Amino acid sequence: MDYYSGQINKLIEALGSLPGIGAKTAQRLAFHIVNMPEEDVKRLASAMTEAKSGVRYCKCCCTLTDDELCPICKSPARDKKTIMVVENSRDLAAYEKTGKYNGVYHVLHGAISPMLGISPADLKIKELLERLKDDVNEIIIATNSSIEGEATAMYLSKLIKPIGIKTTRIASGVPVGGDLEYIDEVTLLRALDGRTEL
Amino acid sequence: MDYYSGQINKLIEALGSLPGIGAKTAQRLAFHIVNMPEEDVKRLASAMTEAKSGVRYCKCCCTLTDDELCPICKSPARDKKTIMVVENSRDLAAYEKTGKYNGVYHVLHGAISPMLGISPADLKIKELLERLKDDVNEIIIATNSSIEGEATAMYLSKLIKPIGIKTTRIASGVPVGGDLEYIDEVTLLRALDGRTEL
């Protein structure tokens, strides 16, 4: 690609290393950035370095935050006795957007995956068990409905149930608005298994 | 979105202002960046600011480059008497990738668009006319096949033809591998108009 300048090539390469950004998108973004006002470029670049250096794990729930404690753990309005365990901060955000969950969270930062070499020790499980020493009513396991998420849910339930704390798993089934015709068989069977009385 | 830290929100917002990056992608990228090694984040951020501050227009063809002249204008192997006029540096790159074009380029940095308020004076047309004072055999107009690209091509041909330089336009028609069934009528008629003898 010697028809571009070296600096543009470097930028294209750096952008292309981000997830979901292919060669074409990286190229388009690079040219957009070069044509952006200088202060906007500086703002974007410093947002990156500042977020990287400034953000840390919440001391309680391990989500990403600026402070020692995240806004949710700090809030006196939240029910600290109900803990929803999620894989990452984006999943936490997804449940927060529903506006209906009033408990707190625990972010594992991943799921058990022998394929990717992620063992339970790599997740924030030790921190979760530490929290269970306080008075906790229920642990809601909301890891993804993938093989890794299910494996993590199984692992956690085997760990937590013996302590005597109620451990639940979010339901798996046909998504709202989903057409049965287009749903895979595993999900259909899961929906059947999880049927509730009307 | 007060369930994220302020710095992450700032980063999501800055990334979301890039073209083609929606709210979900910005969120995914922001979390990826926060989890990247610190030196990678710094490299990405500095690639942006350096590309912005270091890149300038080639003195001859107006493409984006680090030096006074771009590698193509500098090359003694290129035919300086054939100039292909393109809308932007990405279009130049697209033709360079074919590896078959041996002439040089002229980058307009846009196309005439009354809708977007882009007039001929906003494009690098003055610089193109300046180049025509040297010995030039042919001007190949390779602006896009959009309304703006066609308007720009018309405008340029009216400007250049009176000077007595051969002015050509790249062909418009059915793309290679294209199925007639799925091609719009305007393109089909364009392909018919541009038919050549076998």
Number of domains in chain B: 1
Q: Is residue A41 part of a domain?
A: no
**Does residue B103 register a pLDDT over 70?**
yes
Question: Which residue out of B2, B5, B31 would a mutagenesis test of the A interface target, given it has the greatest number of A Cβ atoms within 10 Å?
Answer: B5
Of the candidates B126, B129, B109, B131, the one whose C-alpha atom is nearest the C-alpha of residue B118 is B109
Q: Are A81 and A38 in contact (CB under 8 A)?
A: no
With beta carbons under 8 A apart, name residues in chain A contacting B33: 18, 48, 51-52
Q: Which residues pair with A139 in a beta bridge?
A: A83, A167
Residue A130 lies in a domain: yes
Chain A residues in contact with B51 (beta carbon < 8 A) = 7-8, 10-11, 30, 33-34
CATH of the domain at A151: 3.40.1360.10
Average pLDDT, chain B: 89
Residue A36 belongs to some domain of the structure: no
CB environment B94-119: b (16+ within 10 A), e (fewer)? ebbeeeebebbbbbbbbbbbeeeebe
pLDDT confidence of residue B195: 79
* Residue B188 touches partner A, C-beta closer than 8 Å: no
Which residue does chain A place closest to B66, by CA atoms?
A5
Residue B61 lies in a domain: no
pLDDT in tens, A157-172: 999 989 999 999 888 8
pTM value is: 0.69
Look up the domain containing A161 and give its range: 79-172+181-198
Does A151 map to a domain?
A: yes
> Is A25 within a domain?
no
User: Strand ranges (DSSP E) for B55-123?
Assistant: 56-57, 64-65, 79-86, 103-107
Burial class of residue A171 in the structure, from the number of CB atoms within 10 Å of its CB (0-12 exposed, 13-18 middle, 19+ buried): exposed
Whether residue B135 is contained in a domain is answered as: yes
Task: Specify if B42 maps to a domain.
Answer: no
Does residue B15 have a pLDDT over 90?
Answer: yes
Helical residues (DSSP H) of B19-87, grouped into ranges = 23-35, 38-54, 71-74
- Count contacts between A and B (CB, < 8 Å): 164
Nearest to B51 among A8, A17, A71 (CB): A8
Q: Give the C-alpha separation, B29 to B16, whole Å.
A: 10
Q: Does A45 touch chain B (CB under 8 A)?
A: yes
Half-sphere exposure of A167 (CA within 13 A, CB side): 18
What's A55-76 look like in SS3?
CEECCCCCCEECCCCCHHHHCC
3-state secondary structure (DSSP) of residue B140: strand
**pLDDT tens figures, A46-97:** 999 998 888 889 999 999 988 889 999 999 999 999 999 999 988 898 888 8
Q: pLDDT tens for residues B113-160?
A: 999 999 999 999 999 999 999 999 999 999 998 889 999 999 999 999
